[in-house]
Structure 1
């Protein structure tokens, strides 16, 4: 890529954000927010898919495919040596999503 002002600006923002998230408390807070966002998305997905009750199987297949792709990304051998913040937050988003779907299933079963 060319070394433009916009490219330099994005590089500077990315490095400053990376340095800002090196603090363990900020990293932990971002991971907790990611988990809670996954939980919220599970509640949203289950209520919106259950409203119409026409595409339940298609939506369920799509959500399973997304969680499996996320697991493939997180547990791939090349990521085990170096885990970035983005991959960790994506994994916790997935965990929160699955947890929320399990809680919704328990609510429907009772």
Structure 2
């Protein structure tokens, strides 16, 4: 690729964002936000899919596939990909989503 101004600008933004993420408190805060967004997403998905019973099976199948793909990324044999921060964010989102789906199931069961 040519070294244009927009390419240099994007490279500088990426480097600055990488330095910003090097602070452990910022990483932990983003992981916590991702976990909490996963719990919100679990409530939203179960509420929307529960309104019309037509989407229950499709939503459950889609959630299982997405959960397994994220687990394969996070815990798979390729450790270089598994150590990336984006995969950690996806894994925290998956954990929050799964946790909230269990909470919703307990609420419906009681």
Instruction: Quickly name the TM-score band, shorter chain normalised.
Output: over 0.9
Q: How many residues align?
A: 110
The superposition leaves residues 50-93 of structure 1 with CA deviations (integer Å, 9 ceiling, x where unpaired) of 01111210110011100000001111122268611111111111
Stretches of structure 1 that go unaligned for 5 or more consecutive residues are none
Give matches, 1:1-110, under 5 Å: 1-79=1-79, 83-110=83-110
How many angstroms apart in 1 are the aligned matches of 2:11 and 2:33? 25
Runs of 4+ in 1 over 2 A off after TM superposition: 79-82
How many angstroms apart in 1 are the aligned matches of 2:85 and 2:15? 13
How many angstroms apart in 2 are the aligned matches of 1:87 and 1:105? 27
- Scaled by the length of structure 2, the TM-score of the pair is 0.94
Relative to structure 1, the CA distance from residue 107 to residue 80 in structure 2 (aligned partners, 3 Å threshold; closer, same or farther) is farther
Stretches of structure 2 that go unaligned for 5 or more consecutive residues are none
RMSD of Structure 2 on Structure 1 (CA): 1.4
